[in-house]
Amino acid sequence: MKTCATVFTIGWGAALAFGWIALAAPPEEPTQLQTLNIALAALGAGAGLWAWVRIRRGC
């Protein structure tokens, strides 16, 4: 249960942090860096969602 809770917290934290970085980036930021930020935000959201589902099932 602790592992799932930790993954949940870190996953959603990463999703929020990298999502914010991607949205607040200046227009002259390189496209590759923007894509990396979006991909990391998506991976964090996926990990957070997966952990939430595991917690709901009793981990």
Q: Write the Ramachandran bin of 28: left for phi over 0, alpha for psi from -120 to 50, otherwise beta.
A: alpha
Extract the tokens encoding 18. 């990298």
Digit-coded pLDDT (tens) for 19-47: 999 999 998 999 999 999 999 999 999 99
- pTM, whole model, 2 decimals? 0.87
pLDDT at 19: 96
Strand, helix or coil at 52? Answer: helix
pLDDT at 23: 94
